[in-house]
Structure 1
């Protein structure tokens, strides 16, 4: 029991550290290609050498961090080629997951989609009224929650995990567009209203097209 408890505590610390570093990569606090030194990260985020190294290994598996040949770590690059590759993968896995969710989802899933959509719109309103890092993070998390809910009935944990992974990899591109004022919230809201309706009506062609259009618009405009 002692070892099990310690393991659970270690996993909690690693999860918290990963969340903080993932957030700072997404917001550009940690820059693309920036070297990540264990001791400097510990001073900034806390944790032990072991927990920080495990955190970085987790972020490597997610594609947020790269391991270098010298056994160090750095933030993954963020070039146009990186964006194109992430966008391609996001579209493919999201469309596959949504198609499966629309086939298998029932009334409870539909209710959850409507609720998550409502929460996303509320977060968007708050962001537009008071644009700062806190509301931007709340909006981004609400958008992630909505996407997660949309594909939650896909009946594939691995597919679900892949959708989340590519969403996280694309966050810094999306948040950069937000900081630059390049997201059209009016058009975005119209797309999501149409997407929600298509999902409820099981209009597969329209739903998959709208999902792809929205992902592309968020990342490239």
Structure 2
């Protein structure tokens, strides 16, 4: 279906829709994103598609390569470890500020976001990995926890880091089905500490929550690499 509106508006729509597809793992790490193919997929001009991809490159979700176009970011252990370290720092600063200075509207929003998350199934039989609905609710819950920090710049930086880490989680989604981790309990405990205005406890739980996800992803990658090596040795 052809899209209406100005070119910048169409580009933002394409950026948002392609971003959603990236965040749920619809594309493989390093997969090329030809401008013409993106334009056809979203029924827009090549110019609009290129602008949308440039926006995603600025967001750190795709890479722009001279003479080669665009591709999805690669899986990188070094990048993930660095990303996680910075995420812990930024998210914990924002959470501590929210817990110590935000008012009743912040509490209400956090409670509502958690209710939505807790009521949304994490997996759907028709979708690989976590469901898009759960992924969206998960994003909103974590965003609600830090939304009372009082800094737009801090939140913008935090959101960009969140998107990059979401792609890693999506690419290793199967590990979360089998690891036996009680993510729902972690979220409840995090909410309880935040609403109790226990900043130290809330920050401790959030840091552990973020770090545990990265540990699982890295463990999954290490096992997959070992299996590939064993298969090559047998072959």
Normalising by the smaller structure, the TM-score range is 0.7 to 0.9
Listed one character per residue, the Cα deviations across residues 119-166 of structure 1 (whole Å, up to 9, x for unaligned) are 11111xx235x4442861110110100111111111111111111111
Aligned match of 1:48 in 39, 45, 50?
45
Question: Structure 2 length normalisation: TM-score?
Answer: 0.82
Aligned to 2:66: 69
Question: Structure 1 length normalisation: TM-score?
Answer: 0.86
- How far the C-alpha of 1:182 sits from its partner, in A, is 4.1
Contact 1:86 1:170 in 2 (8 A): yes
Contact 1:26 1:175 in 2 (8 A): yes
- How far the C-alpha of 1:204 sits from its partner, in A, is 1.2
Aligned to 1:196: 191
Aligned to 2:142: 147
Report the more deviating stretch, 106-115 or 12-21. Answer: 12-21
1:27–1:208: structure 2 CA closer, same or farther, 3 Å change rule? Answer: same
Task: Determine the C-alpha separation between the residues in 2 that align with 1:94 and 1:150.
Answer: 9
Listed one character per residue, the Cα deviations across residues 15-66 of structure 1 (whole Å, up to 9, x for unaligned) are 2211222233233332222222111111122221221111111111110011
Q: Note the residue ranges of structure 1 that are not aligned, 5 or more in a row.
A: 1-5
- Aligned positions, number: 211
Report the more deviating stretch, 113-122 or 167-176. Answer: 167-176
SS of the equivalent of 2:132 reads helix
Summarize the alignment of residues 39-188 of structure 1 with structure 2, pairs less than 5 Å apart.
39-70=36-67, 72-123=69-120, 126-128=121-123, 130-133=124-127, 136-180=131-175, 181-182=177-178, 184=180, 187-188=182-183
Task: Determine the C-alpha separation between the residues in 2 that align with 1:184 and 1:120.
Answer: 19
Task: Determine the C-alpha separation between the residues in 1 that align with 2:213 and 2:6.
Answer: 37
Q: Note the residue ranges of structure 2 that are not aligned, 5 or more in a row.
A: 217-235
CA RMSD across the alignment:
2.1
